[in-house]
Each structure stands twice: as C-alpha cells, then as structure tokens.
Structure 1
Amino acid sequence: MTDVERVGVVGCGLMGSGIAEVCARAGRDVVVLEATGGAAAAGRERIAGSLGRAVASGRLTAAERDAVMGRISVTADPARLADRDLVVEAVAEDERVKLEVFALLDRVVERPDAVLATNTSALPVIRLAAAVSRPEQVVGLHFFNPVPVLPLVELVPSLLTGAETVRRAHAFASEVLGKEVVRARDRAGFVVNALLVPYLLAAVRMAEHGRATAEDIDRGMTLGCAHPLGPLALADLIGLDTVQAIARSLYAEYWEPSYAPPPLLARMVDAGRLGRKTGRGFHTYGARGDGAMREDEGVVATAAGPTRPAGGRRDGEQTT
C-alpha cells in the first residue's frame, strides 16, 4: 500500500480542485495552495460545489460530503505544504509559471522523500525537474477532466526520475485513487494529447478554410463517427487557450505541421473567445459558460476525447 497520507495541490482551478477532491475522497489530508486569499476562497467554493452536485445526484451523502470537505484546506500560505508526502502542481499550462511553482516547492516542501508531481498536459517533465535540487523526485501525473469521474492517469517519468518515485506515484494513483495508469515517455503530449490535438487542430483548419461550419463539423463527427462530442465543442470545453498551449509544445518538440496552431485559433484566443469558460468559442454557451459539467451529465469530455465513465455510469472539465 502507498505511504502517501498528506497531499498538496498547487492551483485550485478546474483540474486542481478535482485532484484535491479525489484525494480527499480517498481519505487523504489535502492542502491546496492558491495565489491569494480570494482565489483560495473561490477554490474552496468550487470544490464544495462539485461535492454538492454529488450529494444532489445521490453519489455522496451529506455526511460524506462534510467529511471530505473537512479533509481539505485551501490556503495562500506556501509554508502549509512543508509536511506533504506528495504535491501535485496544477497551474496554468505555461512553462514559466510552472517553473516558478517548482522552484517554490523545492524551497518549502521539507520532507526529503516528497514526490513532486506535475499535471502538465504537454510540457516535457525534465524541464520542470531542472528547476529543483531533487529532480529524481519529479514525475508527471496527468489527470483527465473531470477528475472525479474519468479513470485515466498518465504516469510520465523523466530521464532523471528515480525508480522509487515512480513506484510511489503509481501506487498512489492506482491503489489509493483507483485510477487506471498508463506509462508514457517524457515526450511533449505524452500519449493522449499527442493523438488528440492534431485531430482538434484539423477541425479548426476545416472551419478556418470555410469547408464547413462549426456546427456541421461537430455534427459530422457525432452523427457520422458516433463521437459523443464534436471536435470543436471538445476544444471549447478544454479551453482554446489550453489547446493552443499544448499545440505549441507539440510543435516545438516535433516540428510536425499537423501540430502547428492554426491562425484562427490564435485569433480567437487573442479575442478572449476561449470556449465554455468565457461563454463563447466555436459555439456560444449560456449561464453555465464556465465549462463545468455536472456529475450526472451523460456525456463527459476529456483531453482524451469525449467518453462515458467506465461501466456506463452517468457521471459527470482546464480540462486536459
């Protein structure tokens, strides 16, 4: 069994809040670090909202919800991470920001054997490991959205990750969180995004060149290929800024034209049309434009593509 009892999460956005939730549901003591007190309060509300929806759908009791919330602290004080056995970074998909986080973790996490994990969607793990004095303890743990529902985690060791770090991270994800773990080499995009993102970019190019409307592109893939969600709707759910960031990482690594972000994608990001979280992307969204999905929605979407949860249950977003 894993020896990870105290977990830290850096960032309480859509991915960070989901990671914190599943760790607390698994009985672990969780400290979530946010940049400011206001962001910390908003992050705690996000977790409470997710758990509230689980209660409303009958997946948790009110007592279980209260117990989970009791195991989660959201703070703006980095010193609260000092005693953590494992810390997962889940901030914006921006290499500069992530490097700053890892430099901070190297200073404040005091346990000499602590695992320092990144939830990056596409950045090479070795670049983040270079920011710390203990690169053998840095590993990729890439969760998928929504984290409480989707069973997959990509485990990504760098060239410097130690075997014991890999063992502990794998055991935590599989034995404690109950996730299915796939191993990926430390290459931009790992397994899932290296396959998915060229598909999304091809759909963007098709819309950009006027070969079909966004609606018809998505209808073509949902009705013609039985995908629960079309590629442009999926890109909206992931966040067009996140899709662009992953594409840039892939293109910088492989120099493959299929990985290059199309100009239309860049213009939409510049315009603030980021998808569900801003209410408008390739499609327009209503009051729930923040991109969150309820646990009881029948179709959920991930960086791995739209799917139903394992076993066909009706469960149910950064999203990659």
Structure 2
Amino acid sequence: MKPIATVGVVGSGTMGRGIAESALQAGLQVILHDSSPDALSAARKQIEANLHRSVGKGQLPAQEASEYLGALDPAADMGALAGCQLVIEAVPEVLEVKLSVLAALEESVAGDVLIATNTSSIPITRLARALGHPDRFIGLHFFNPVPRMPLVEVIRAVHSSDATVAAARQFVAEALGKTPLVIEDRPGFVVNALLIPFLLAAARMLDSGYAEAEAIDDGMTLGCGHPMGPLKLADFIGLDVVCAAADAMYAQSPDPALVVPNNLRRLVDAGQLGAKTGRGFYDHR
C-alpha cells in the first residue's frame, strides 16, 4: 500500500486540531477544513503555540517547527480536500451533523480516498449510512491530547473492506507512530466501554454522599496507582462529552451502569463542563 502523505481533517476543534498537529509532526501535509474562518484561524494559532512550546522545552528544533507549520493548509472550502489520500472527520458528536458532513465529504474527494470518523461513541456502521461507498469508511478514535496519547482505536464497520482496515492500521502505526488497536464496531469500542461506566460510578458515589470528590479521586490515585482520579479525569475530558458518550452507549445497550447520575447531568445543564469552562466537579479557575 502506498504510504499516505496528505491528510485532511474536517473540524478544527480540540480533537481536529490535535489530529492535525500529530499528522504535521509525522511529516505529513495537512489540509484542515472548517466552515468557520475564525475557527480555522484560532486552530492555526493554537497549533503554532503548541509547536513553539515544544521548541522552548528543547523537544523540537525551531527549523522543524517552522516546516511543520508550513505544511498546514487551513481551508474553509471542503473542495480543498480533493487531493488528500485520507480524510478524518472530527466534527461534534451529533449524529445528524456527522451524517451531513460525511455525505458532503464523499462528494468532495476522489473515489479511492479513505474516509474516517473520530467519533468516540456513535456506531461506525450507523455513520456509514451517509456514504455511497461504505467499504472505504472506518473509525479512527484518537484520544486527547492527541499529540501525546499513543493509542488509536481502529474500528471496523460492517462494510469496511480488508484493504481499508489494513491501510488505516498502517497509517496509525507507520505514519503517526502510534499503537493501532483494531477492533469491531461495539458500543463504546474498548476504551470507552471500560472508562465511561467507571467515571459514572465515581459521579454516582459522589451524588449519593458516599464520599467527597477528593476522597474518591485520592482512593484511585493513591490506592490504585491511577495517574488521575475519575472525577478530575471527567472534568478534563469534558462533562458534556462524558454525558454524550454515556447516552449514546446506553441507546445501543441499556445497561444501568451507563445511566448518567443527577449531579453530573445538572452540571452539564448549568454549563459547568469541567476544565474548559473553569468549573465542573472541581473549580479550575
């Protein structure tokens, strides 16, 4: 299989920026698409700041950082993705939005271009309904912060061809230097199928008055060796993201462990989404 040299990323939010930055640091050409010019400008500034931070820490030569940034092409027109060999959709976790974007994307690229989604919870096979050629579609679930996290779940949909799976696995392992975890299309895949019930259990324990937030987190960091407690981790991920993943997984498999507890739902309703808004289970201001 011919190595992938040009990657498209649709969506310039946290995950889209992270995927783009990882691809740039792998020496790839990156077309970053977003319909909002302001969002594209903010994404480029954030990627530039991250690269400069790496230079300041002595982790990256200044010349390489400049070359990486020069390989980034922000594009408000989806037609700019036509020359890519792989395009990764990273728009918000809303089924209708993803279906619409994927349908438009397929019309914008050549027939042999691989199309992937970075969804963390929506079934890959359900998203494949947007495509006329679902055999070239696959899930590539990255983790935040993308440049530092070494794992990518490679999720095979029902119609994904063997060639598509092999090309996606090769891209993750050889181009990005990350570990591909090739799995079938199941609720929550592997990581979230384990992680989301764990986070909800911690929120449920807090909601019941069983223990304070600090005690719950200390129990897992000091007692189990976890690098971060579940409530702090939920704040870091984003409480809205945790709720959305739990709801999507529950819709596929109504497991009581996936029911979002009241305290978590109320924080999301109040707009207190964790570290990104300054408040969640903890005060991050």
Q: Determine if the TM-score, normalized by the shorter chain, exceeds 0.5.
A: yes
Question: For the residues of structure 1 that align with 2:257 and 2:21, how far apart are their CA atoms?
Answer: 36
Q: Which has the higher contact order (CA 8 A, sep 6+)?
A: 1
Question: Is this contact kept in 2: 1:21–1:47, CA < 8 A?
Answer: yes
Question: For the residues of structure 2 that align with 1:2 and 1:184, how far apart are their CA atoms?
Answer: 23
Question: Is this contact kept in 2: 1:9–1:33, CA < 8 A?
Answer: yes
Task: Show the counterpart of 1:148.
Answer: 147
Question: For the residues of structure 2 that align with 1:214 and 1:97, how far apart are their CA atoms?
Answer: 35
Question: Is this contact kept in 2: 1:157–1:185, CA < 8 A?
Answer: yes
Residues 71-102 of structure 1: CA deviation (Å, up to 9, x unaligned):
01112111111111100011112212211210
Question: For the residues of structure 1 that align with 2:91 and 2:54, how far apart are their CA atoms?
Answer: 25
Q: What is the correspondence of 1:71-110 to structure 2 with a 5 Å cutoff?
A: 71-109=71-109
Task: Show the counterpart of 2:252.
Answer: 253
Task: Show the counterpart of 1:314.
Answer: none
Task: Show the counterpart of 1:134.
Answer: 133
Question: For the residues of structure 2 that align with 1:204 and 1:81, how far apart are their CA atoms?
Answer: 42
Question: For the residues of structure 1 that align with 2:205 and 2:270, how far apart are their CA atoms?
Answer: 20
- Which amino acid in structure 1 is aligned with residue 46 of structure 2? R
> What is the identity percentage for the equivalent residue pairs of Structure 1 and Structure 2?
49
Task: Show the counterpart of 2:206.
Answer: 207
Q: CA deviation at 1:215?
A: 1.6
Following TM superposition, the consecutive aligned residue runs of length 4 or more in structure 1 with deviations greater than 2 angstroms are none
Task: Show the counterpart of 1:20.
Answer: 20
Residues 140-181 of structure 1: CA deviation (Å, up to 9, x unaligned):
011112111111010001010011111111111101111111
Question: For the residues of structure 2 that align with 1:32 and 1:50, how far apart are their CA atoms?
Answer: 16
Task: Show the counterpart of 1:172.
Answer: 171
Task: Show the counterpart of 1:265.
Answer: 264
Q: What is the correspondence of 1:1-320 to structure 2 with a 5 Å cutoff?
A: 2-109=2-109, 111-286=110-285
Question: For the residues of structure 2 that align with 1:172 and 1:225, how far apart are their CA atoms?
Answer: 34
Q: TM-score, normalization: structure 1? A: 0.87
Q: TM-score, normalization: structure 2? A: 0.97
- Which amino acid in structure 2 is aligned with residue 15 of structure 1? M
- Which amino acid in structure 2 is aligned with residue 22 of structure 1? S
Question: Is this contact kept in 2: 1:2–1:172, CA < 8 A?
Answer: no
The secondary structure found in structure 2 opposite 1:144 is: coil
Question: For the residues of structure 2 that align with 1:263 and 1:136, how far apart are their CA atoms?
Answer: 41
Higher helix share: 2
Question: For the residues of structure 1 that align with 2:66 and 2:11, how far apart are their CA atoms?
Answer: 22
Q: CA deviation at 1:15?
A: 1.3
Question: For the residues of structure 2 that align with 1:77 and 1:214, how far apart are their CA atoms?
Answer: 46
Question: For the residues of structure 2 that align with 1:14 and 1:54, how far apart are their CA atoms?
Answer: 18
* Structure 2 runs not aligned, ≥5 long: none
Question: For the residues of structure 2 that align with 1:162 and 1:63, how far apart are their CA atoms?
Answer: 40
Question: For the residues of structure 2 that align with 1:178 and 1:4, how far apart are their CA atoms?
Answer: 13
Question: For the residues of structure 1 that align with 2:25 and 2:159, how far apart are their CA atoms?
Answer: 31
Question: For the residues of structure 1 that align with 2:127 and 2:207, how far apart are their CA atoms?
Answer: 35
- Which amino acid in structure 2 is aligned with residue 75 of structure 1? A
Question: For the residues of structure 2 that align with 1:88 and 1:213, how far apart are their CA atoms?
Answer: 40
Q: CA deviation at 1:2?
A: 4.2
Q: CA deviation at 1:3?
A: 2.7
Q: CA deviation at 1:42?
A: 0.6
Question: Is this contact kept in 1: 2:84–2:113, CA < 8 A?
Answer: yes
| Aligned Cα root-mean-square deviation (Å) | 1.1
Question: For the residues of structure 1 that align with 2:9 and 2:266, how far apart are their CA atoms?
Answer: 32
Work out the number of aligned pairs and report it.
Answer: 285
- Which amino acid in structure 2 is aligned with residue 117 of structure 1? A
Question: For the residues of structure 2 that align with 1:45 and 1:29, how far apart are their CA atoms?
Answer: 17
The secondary structure found in structure 1 opposite 2:19 is: helix
The secondary structure found in structure 2 opposite 1:184 is: strand
The secondary structure found in structure 1 opposite 2:250 is: helix
Question: For the residues of structure 1 that align with 2:144 and 2:284, how far apart are their CA atoms?
Answer: 19
- Which amino acid in structure 1 is aligned with residue 62 of structure 2? A
Question: Is this contact kept in 2: 1:85–1:114, CA < 8 A?
Answer: yes
Question: Is this contact kept in 1: 2:169–2:182, CA < 8 A?
Answer: no
Q: CA deviation at 1:128?
A: 1.0
Residues 6-38 of structure 1: CA deviation (Å, up to 9, x unaligned):
110011122111111111111211001112111
